[in-house]
Structure 1
């Protein structure tokens, strides 16, 4: 053991080595002792015993100064140390250095052996370099290729549709003007969509090429430069050094192995977990939903692919004997198997060429659709007037594609729970009609609120007080107008109203009858049944006459809308409903069982609904949204368009004007008679405010008719205006000496009401 001296030393600064011998103990006193006994059976010499005794005295502090004047040495303090380390003396010996060398050698051998064993595992340097190279290569390739493939597929589909539409437009005979024009418009639209898709594909391909080049230079430029610089500076040795440096960099990039989370991912993964859609996943999901058996599989017609919106789409064939309807009925089960919300999964029949009864198309949105910001409606960008005879833009579907419908010779029904967005959805149709100055607007607001009030200045008829009696009278006028339209069509030898006829004859312009909150009118105790009957008459017969009827209500059940009326409304738009049964009352019985239920629409998807207008399947669409300020702006534009076209409503018409609108000779006679009575009445009131003219002689009336260009005999006039017995009495007239035959105003008004249903 080595200890530091505690007291001052006069002549020594090195370490003192003290050897403790086993069996030695302190002396009893300071007297000289005999020689110590032998240790371990060995005889100890006198000198050795003296050394031992001296050491004992030093340790016990019994060393005294001699009488010769030598100072007494202080007692050492072994608890104090200086800055020198406690290093065993043997470490500086040859044996110590040999021990150190042995430990270092054995550690290096063990490390080398571990390194050799590790090279055969996924943590070896070669495996690390491979992982690093793969990761760098994946980073260089990027993800633009998936987007490019998706947009290329869309461009291919759009181009095919454009070619088909152009072929249809080309070979449609010119004699079929309507179909020719529709085909040409469809060809123009599909050509525009195809050109946009192709331009987007070219743009995306250029962006991918630039991004790929930049990443390629950033990833492989430094290694290539290092190897080339090393070869230039030191030949093959420098090139080898550069290669080793590149190898080291790749190994660092791949030092963390790619491990599979086998604890749970091996059991089940889904699209909701971020996995890619694959054929095995489709089989497992359809098996889990009990659509196909455990030993059956799907036939992939179009491989699963991502589109630009991050959604997966594919086309598959079900096993033989399994219809598409079975998969659509299992909509909720399939959504659960895919790990997404029901609204994210869209299952539809494939409508492409060669479609089959067992072929379906799947579309799985990345996020819940229709929850983001709404794009501006297309009507805001419309500079000219709209064309209500053409297709009307409704809004985008889940793929972002615009959906449009045609309302010519159609009628519609919009329903959904309160707050689902019926008013905002109806604005897409109402605003399109308002922006066409040729359309006649008749609106009835059963809610009695202010949703339809901004349209009132553009309406020829408007009922905004939720009055069933006023709405019943409005329907009477509409039915009478329908009869006059058919009478004019018979004279023209036409079966139905077309755009050309409507442009030529203002009486045949399109008329939109919009009824909001139909429930208030049809459930009225006094007028409910009458209104239902008249609406059914108008919807069933008014289509060919150019009268379009749309009804909106919360739940159009049989207690609200009679099934005989509801089944005639061909366009159905079901917004969010609280139950599948409520959805079926709008879309039709069995729609929910077939996989089309507005119950699956989430509350966040306001304005979204299942639109069944054309084709065999309802389509999930969100209506274009227009704010109150935008509605006001569009209606101001519509007012200007109608003012320039001269189609603004003229206000309430007089009875004479209503009679002239009938286009009948007898109505013309009655109109002149009403005007004559009005003129005499105004002349009498000029002298006396309380005066009233309620009877005129027949000669005055015949003279007025002759002056108006109407040639009629007294006998014919008597047959037209039938008088009762007391009304045939003769009366005196100013300027005549005897009593004259005449006609009372009540008889004229009665004739107008009896024959034409018109009142003053």
Structure 2
């Protein structure tokens, strides 16, 4: 590949400069040597050439292992399990190829026979031309044109002598075939005949077949790759504006040699930017770097180097690493998990396993519809389900079938917004959040009173969480399509207040949230909209699958993600279950999540229920508890706080009395929310006088009438 307009700095001999680059010296010295020892440019390389096993021709693979040494025995043959795996893998590929070609062998035989006939004629023509010495025609014609009879006669005698002995050779060849063929046919065993015929047909077919018409179809197709070398990298970085080849102290230098990575799926090199340029600059210029390398942006990955903010590692994948799924979830083993250990989530762009530490963190997942948002949240919920000591609450505002099977293990669950046999889902959500808030507050009080030898840091430990006498198990709350709970009218005011409180306070008490939405921009306006934003922004870990714009991506990943070069709107629509994970570690990888479809989830949840039954931790709705009895009778509660001698009460009074007498249910209630709930039963909001001041409230007779209507219904 030769550039259309190569610059002077493109044309230097990297081989001559290699020692300088390895030592990370200034490129001015390299240019001086280049000018005195001109060489060929590295741009003259084959496009889409298959990479050499082991790396670039002049660069060794990078060291590996704690001692910084390449293993003497390859990893694939270092242990007996690895040897067995390698043998099985090789045998499987060989068996596949044998079966592939065996099925097509009749076609190969017919095509080979056809081209063998063509090859026979071509071989005959070649031998006739060889016998007749046709290449001498031009010489004799030249002597004739020059009127040189002596030379012509000499050439004529030479050609006659040559034709004579070549005729003898061809005659011997023909006699061998005419006489030896029948003898071989009559005396040789069948396998010798078969081998001879196969060899002859193959030879003739090779002569007759055009170069672009192969007889045998490849069973496997080798990938085609863009070979990357240091010159192309320099061109890309300079084109991206990260340096300048001719300005002092603005040159790009290398902190390592260009080499294949240990996985054999790409090339990597350590880059030193000019002083003043930062890692963030390189991340922002990732698209321009990909253009300069002439590869897709999904093949370029930049990793921070902890030793310097101007140094980073550039990894260029041979092919798009995000186009291939991560495979089935390892949770299909149905073995018990431990919530105190990170949950398996997927693979990053380089095939490394990515795990998410769920303890003490709240996790936000956002994406467009049908990009794998629910599957990503559900994979984390399955990890929690397999830990029998985790108390699960699953609330799905969308009512999709993806979460229904969690009824096998969830302490509290609500699906959709339509009335069900379990009651009103909105009321179940409200009651569940109230109960969780009360539990969190109680936990903080009890943890502060535990002795230091039991609770050293005043926070929940694994031993406390798993000891039933403390009654403080880890609680995991999963909300899918949580925006629906902010758009239910007056009841949303209390739900929103509870969610904001819990997402801020609960994780430190061992109660964490995993929340998914397809509308991270928020709902409506006013106080609920502000609470939505507060709830969304108080998640420590964020995972964004494909979004519609960089602005929405920033809402999911958090402010500043786009300026750091992280934009989930650039993910292709074909990427399902692929997103950017921010906040889980120092890195921000692009993750291909593990797959767990409906059948996989059901299998895991059945196993999880058995684990809970064996541990005696199955509780709540999964254990058959009738949650409807915990839903408050608002009319009865309001009637109970109105004194006998009162004809009515103002909404403000009712809210204060409810919070004082029934704090477990009405601690956060407001005059507006209680008014909305009571009026939904047909109770009028009228003026009620108190201390000479008339404010809106409810009459006792109206409340009694509403209770009577409900009983009669």
TM score, norm. by length of structure 1: 0.52
Residue 422 of structure 1 corresponds to which residue in structure 2?
Answer: 373
Does residue 305 (structure 1) correspond to residue 259 (structure 2)? The answer is yes
Q: How many Å apart are 1:363 and its aligned residue?
A: 1.5
Structural mapping, 1:580-595, within 5 Å: 580-595=550-565
Between the aligned partners of 2:63 and 2:337, the Cα distance in structure 1 is: 29
Q: Distance in 2 between matches of 1:655 and 1:305?
A: 62
CA deviation digits over 1:241-264, x for unaligned, max 9?
Answer: xxxxxxxxxxxxxxxxxxxxxxxx
Q: In the alignment, what sits opposite 2:354?
A: 403
CA spacing shift, 1:724–1:590, aligned 2, 3 Å: closer
Preserved contact between residue 343 and residue 602 of structure 1 (Cα < 8 Å):
no
- Distance in 1, matches of 2:376 and 2:434, equals 28
Report if aligned partners of 1:151, 1:197 keep a CA contact under 8 Å in 2: no
- The separation in 2 between residues aligned to 1:273 and 1:196, in whole angstroms, is 24
CA displacement at 1:427 relative to structure 2? 2.1
Provide the residue aligned with 2:191 in structure 1.
none
Determine if the alignment matches structure 1 residue 390 to structure 2 residue 341. Answer: yes
- What is the rounded CA distance, in whole Å, between the counterparts of 1:400 and 1:487 in structure 2? 45
Deviation at 1:511, TM superposition (A): 0.5
> What is the Cα deviation at residue 538 of structure 1?
0.6
SS where residue 436 of structure 1 aligns? coil
Classify 1:593/1:201 alpha carbon distance in 2 versus 1 (closer, same or farther; 3 Å). Answer: farther
* 2:229 alignment counterpart: 278
Give deviations 1:333-383, integer Å, cap 9, x for gaps: 1111112222221122124xxx1010111122221223225423211235x
Structure 1 residue 407 displacement after superposition:
1.1
Aligned residue for 2:662, secondary structure, equals: helix
Summarize deviations over 1:119-164 as a string: whole Å, max 9, x none. Answer: xxxxxxxxxxxxxxxxxxxxxxx9433399999646336x669xxx
Q: Cα distance 1:148–1:650, how it changes in 2: closer, same or farther (>3 A)?
A: farther
Who is 2:583 aligned against?
A: 613
1:632 aligns with 602
Distance across 2 between alignment mates of 1:629 and 1:483: 38
Tell me which structure has the larger Cα radius of gyration.
1
CA contact (8 A) 1:393 1:402 kept: yes
Distance 1:511 1:648 in 2: 13
1:457-516 C-alpha deviation (Å, 9 max, x unpaired) = 211111113344432232112111212222321332442211111112452101111100
Counterpart among 379, 385, 395 of residue 434 in structure 1: 385
Contact 1:412 1:570 in 2 (8 A): yes
Q: For residues 144 and 656 of structure 1, what CA distance do their matches in structure 2 show?
A: 66
Q: Superposition pairs for residues 318-357 of structure 1, below 5 Å?
A: 318-351=273-306, 355-357=307-309
Alpha-carbon distance in 1 for matches of 2:599, 2:626: 36
Match of 1:293 in 2: 244
Does the aligned pair in 1 maintain the 2:257–2:269 contact within 8 Å? yes
Query: In structure 2, how many angstroms separate the alpha carbons of the residues matched to 1:654 and 1:273?
Result: 61
Distance 1:426 1:504 in 2: 28
1:385 & 1:520 partners in 2: Cα distance?
33
Q: CA deviation at 1:326?
A: 1.3
When the two structures are aligned, how many residues end up with a matched partner?
437
Give matches, 1:689-700, under 5 Å: none
Change in Cα spacing, 1:202 to 1:300, as seen in structure 2 (3 Å) is: farther
Change in 2 beyond 3 A, CA 1:200/1:595: farther
Among 420, 425, 437, the alignment partner of 1:479 is 437
Equivalent residue number for residue 54 of structure 2: 145
Distance, in Å, in 1 between the alignment partners of 2:393 and 2:518 is 21
Alignment CA distance shift 1:472-1:405 (3 Å): same
SS of the residue corresponding to residue 351 of structure 2 reads coil
Q: Given that residues 441 and 459 in structure 1 are in contact (C-alpha distance below 8 angstroms), is that contact kept between their aligned partners in structure 2?
A: yes
The alpha-carbon distance between structure 1 residues 600 and 650, as it changes in their structure 2 partners (threshold 3 A), is: closer
Whether the aligned pair in 2 keeps the contact of 1:155 and 1:198 (CA below 8 Å) is no
Q: By how many angstroms is 1:421 displaced? A: 0.4
User: Could you say if the C-alpha distance between residues 658 and 148 of structure 1 is closer, same or farther in structure 2, counting changes exceeding 3 Å?
Assistant: farther
Alpha-carbon spacing, 1:563–1:300, altered in 2? closer, same or farther (3 Å) = same
Whether the aligned pair in 2 keeps the contact of 1:155 and 1:197 (CA below 8 Å) is: no
Distance of aligned partners of 1:723 and 1:610 in 2 relative to their CA distance in 1, 3 Å threshold: closer
Matched, 1:538 2:538: no
Q: Against the structure 1 CA distance between its residues 596 and 751, is the aligned structure 2 distance closer, same or farther, given a 3 Å change threshold? A: closer
- Aligned with 1:499 (options 437, 447, 462): 462
Q: 1:61-96 deviations in whole A, cap 9, x for unaligned? A: xxxxxxxxxxxxxxxxxxxxxxxxxxxxxxxxxxxx
Alignment deviations for residues 650-677 of structure 1 (CA, whole Å, 9 cap, x no partner): 4475899989xxxxxxxxxxxxxxxxxx
Q: Is the 8 A contact 1:342 1:600 kept in 2?
A: no
* 1:520 aligned residue: 484
Using the TM superposition, give the Cα deviation of residue 553 of structure 1 relative to its aligned residue in structure 2, in angstroms.
0.3
Structure 1 residue 401: deviation in Å?
Answer: 0.7
Secondary structure, aligned partner of 1:156: coil
Alpha-carbon distance in 1 for matches of 2:59, 2:402: 42
SS, match of residue 379 in structure 1: helix
Change (3 A) 1:750 1:578: closer
Which of residues 517, 523, 526 in structure 2 aligns to 1:553? 517
- C-alpha deviation, 1:455, in angstroms: 0.6
Say if 1:316 and 1:484 are closer, same or farther in 2 by CA, change over 3 A. Answer: same
For the 8 Å contact 1:463–1:471, the answer to whether it is kept is: yes
* TM superposition shift of 1:558: 4.5
Pair 1:458-2:458 in alignment: no
Structure 2 CA distance for partners of 1:623 and 1:359, relative to 1, 3 Å: same
For residues 336 and 59 of structure 2, the distance between their equivalents in structure 1, rounded to whole angstroms, comes to 36
Partner residue, 2:592: 622
User: Is the alpha carbon distance of 1:152 and 1:311 closer, same or farther for their aligned partners in structure 2, counting shifts above 3 Å?
Assistant: closer
Task: Specify the SS of the correspondent of 2:55.
Answer: helix
**Cα distance, 1:389 vs. partner?**
1.1
Pair 275,550 (structure 1): closer, same or farther in 2 beyond 3 Å: closer
Structure 2: give runs of 5+ residues left out of the alignment: 1-50, 91-222, 418-424, 524-528, 647-656, 668-713
Aligned to 1:444: 395
Distance 2:446 2:482 in 1: 31
Contact 1:410 1:571 in 2 (8 A): yes
Match of 1:713 in 2: none
Match of residue 79 from structure 1: none
> What is the alpha-carbon distance in structure 2 between the residues aligned to residue 427 and residue 485 of structure 1?
27
SS at match of 2:256: strand
Structure 2 Cα separation of the partners of residues 483 and 658 of structure 1: 19
Q: Confirm or deny: 8 A CA contact 1:575 1:607 kept in the other structure.
A: yes
In structure 2, C-alpha distance between the alignment counterparts of 1:402 and 1:504, rounded to whole Å: 32
Aligned to 1:756: 664
Q: Determine helix, strand or coil for the equivalent of 2:416.
A: coil
Give the direction of change, closer, same or farther, for the CA distance of 1:198–1:291 in structure 2 (3 Å limit): farther
1:155 matched to 2:64? The reply is yes
**Root mean square deviation, CA, Å:** 3.9
Matched, 1:315 2:285: no
SS at match of 1:404: strand
Structure 1 unaligned spans of 5+: 1-141, 162-190, 211-271, 660-693, 695-720, 728-748
Question: CA-to-partner distance for each residue in 1:577-630, whole Å, 9 max, x for gaps?
Answer: 121111100111221122111112112221111111333442111110012221
Please report how far the alpha carbon of residue 446 of structure 1 lies from its aligned counterpart in structure 2 after TM superposition: 0.7
- 1:59 aligned partner: none
Tell me what 2:220 maps to: none
Higher relative contact order (CA 8 A, sep 6+): 2
Aligned partner of 2:117 in structure 1 is: none
